[in-house]
Amino acid sequence: MARFLFKFIICLLLAAAVGLGLLAWRSGDPFYTLFEWLSPARFKQYDPLIHAVATANSLDPMLVKA
């Protein structure tokens, strides 16, 4: 039973890793997405300022961030 449980957990971890890899790969820049997932605070620190500037100029915030 323990061996089955171990293999099941390994399969779940492998499936989760493949799923996250596919999500990152389908994004425009996989390395940027990976770094954003690993360190979210670094990539979100200017979001309030970006949102304020975008709202003031009637633009999409993602356009201002780019």
* Closest of 46, 62, 44, 45 to residue 54, by C-alpha: 62
pLDDT in tens, 4-62: 999 999 999 999 999 988 888 888 888 888 888 888 888 888 889 999 999 999 998 88
Are 24 and 34 in contact by the 8 Å Cβ rule? The answer is yes
Q: Rounded to two decimals, what is the model's pTM?
A: 0.53
Which ranges of the chain would DSSP assign to H, the alpha helix? 2-26, 30-38, 40-44, 47-56, 61-65
Count Cβ atoms within 10 A of the Cβ of residue 47 and give its class: 0-12 exposed, 13-18 middle, 19 or more buried: exposed
pLDDT at residue 53 in the model: 92
pLDDT at residue 11 in the model: 96
| DSSP designation for 57 | T
pLDDT at residue 9 in the model: 96
| DSSP designation for 27 | S
